[in-house]
Each structure stands twice: as C-alpha cells, then as structure tokens.
C-alpha cells in the first residue's frame, strides 16, 4: 500500500505544498521546483484552478505531481483524471482509502495519534503524513511515536519551515517534510521563478 508513496518521499527532503489559483502559473512553477531539485509536488485541491494546475504540471518533465487536500472518493477520482500520480490527505477514512485503492492512486494519508497511526497500519500503510506537524507537538511528538511504532515513517507537514525542517529530518522515522514556504503566494503571483528555484535549492540541501 505505501511502497509507492514511500519511494516518492525518498526522492527529495521536501515536498512543496502548492496553493495555486492561476493555472497559467503552473508550468513555470513546476519547472522552477524541478530545476531546484524538488521533483515531488503537492497541489492542494483548494482553488478552483487546482485540477487544471495538476494537468499542466504533470506535463513538466522530471516532476511527480500529486493532489493534496484529498478528502473524498470524488476528490481522488477528479485528481487522478486530472493527471495526479498520488494523493495526500490530512487524515484517513475507510471510504477514501478504498476509493484510492480501487482507482490505483497511491495515497499518503495523515495521522497524528498512536491510535490513528495504528488504524492506518491496519489499513496497510507504513508511510504517513504527520499533520498538523508543529501544532501537534512537532519533532518531539514524532520522536515519541518512533518508540512504540518504529515501523512507520512520516512526512510531517503544517508549520514546517527551512529553520525547523532539520529537526524533523534528523529523526529516524521521518523521510521528508512538506511545506508551503518554498513557493509563497507573492512569488507565484509575480512569476518570480528564480526566487522559488533558489528556495528549492536551499531545501534540497537539507539532507
């Protein structure tokens, strides 16, 4: 269940979380991130343009484009149809997990507590998103989960920055982190691809 998302998470230390309102920005943004060394991209389904953005970005060579904020079976289907090669969810429900399995869309589901992690393990997952990372106790919490649940790896997301990312990446149960700091709205709106590529390069050196 988790082999594909784990392989994706191993490609770079950071997955940029992208909230893009204008599909004309998609190609330039994805090209800058891939050039900067961050090929795995999460496009949140939070803007009306998100599915079109996924479609445009998935044409960029070298990129792996997934949909974020996937909450329902319908979200998963629309994301897959748009060209997403994986899905990210803040949580995990049986309905969503089953839908992703049915359509062959690798899912990175979210979990925070030991019970949520154990339930995800029962559903076949060993690679999870830890969300909202900072608000849920940050690296300290994740480190505590590694004691009883060492077989599960995480991509912490939510409040992660260039400054605190090393604390997460130093943990044995963290493979990569996710964050929106790589591509701030202002740079995306201005099409400042050089600034975004440079931030991607800094992030790339985190591991």
With respect to ligand 3PG, which residue has the nearer C-beta, 122 or 181?
181
The nearest distance, CB 61 to ligand 3PG, in angstroms, is 26
The nearest distance, CB 145 to ligand 3PG, in angstroms, is 18
The nearest distance, CB 140 to ligand 3PG, in angstroms, is 17
Give residues in contact with ligand 3PG (CB under 6 A).
17, 44, 68, 131, 157-160, 179-181
CA distance 185 to 183: 7
| CA 155 centroid distance within chain | 7
With respect to ligand 3PG, which residue has the nearer C-beta, 148 or 158?
158
With respect to ligand 3PG, which residue has the nearer C-beta, 135 or 194?
135
Helix ranges, the chain (H) = 3-9, 26-35, 50-57, 73-82, 94-103, 114-122, 138-146, 165-169, 185-190, 193-204
Helix ranges, 133-204 (H) = 138-146, 165-169, 185-190, 193-204
CA distance 43 to 62: 16
Q: In 3D, which of 12, 136, 110 has the Cα closest to residue 64?
A: 12
With respect to ligand 3PG, which residue has the nearer C-beta, 39 or 178?
178
With respect to ligand 3PG, which residue has the nearer C-beta, 31 or 180?
180
Q: Reduce the DSSP state of residue 17 to 3 states and report it.
A: strand
Tokens 């154990």 belong to which residue? 118
- What residue is closest to ligand 3PG based on CB? 180
The nearest distance, CB 108 to ligand 3PG, in angstroms, is 11
The nearest distance, CB 142 to ligand 3PG, in angstroms, is 15
Q: Reduce the DSSP state of residue 61 to 3 states and report it.
A: coil
List, by residue number, the catalytic residues.
42, 129
φ, ψ of residue 107 in degrees (nearest 5): -115, 135
Which tokens in the block code for residue 58? 């998935």
């Amino acid at each position: 269940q988790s082999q594909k998302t784990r392989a994706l998470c191993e490609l770079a230390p950071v997955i940029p979380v992208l909230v893009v309102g204008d599909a004309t920005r998609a190609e330039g943004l994805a090209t800058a991130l891939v050039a900067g060394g961050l090929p795995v991209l999460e496009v949140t389904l939070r803007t009306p343009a998100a599915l079109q953005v996924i479609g445009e970005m998935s044409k960029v060579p070298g990129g792996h484009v997934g949909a974020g904020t996937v909450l329902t079976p319908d979200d998963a289907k629309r994301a897959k149809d748009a060209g997403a090669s994986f899905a990210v969810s803040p949580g995990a429900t049986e309905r969503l997990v089953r839908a992703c399995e049915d359509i062959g869309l690798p899912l990175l589901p979210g979990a925070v507590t030991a019970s949520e992690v154990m339930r995800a393990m029962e559903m076949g997952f060993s690679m999870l998103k830890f969300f909202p990372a900072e608000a849920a106790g940050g690296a300290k919490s994740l480190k505590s989960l590694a004691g009883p649940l060492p077989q599960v790896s995480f991509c912490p997301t939510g409040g992660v920055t260039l400054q605190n990312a090393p604390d997460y990446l130093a943990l044995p149960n963290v493979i990569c982190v996710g964050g929106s700091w790589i591509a701030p709205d202002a740079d995306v709106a201005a099409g400042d691809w050089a600034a975004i590529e440079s931030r991607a390069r800094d992030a790339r050196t985190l591991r």
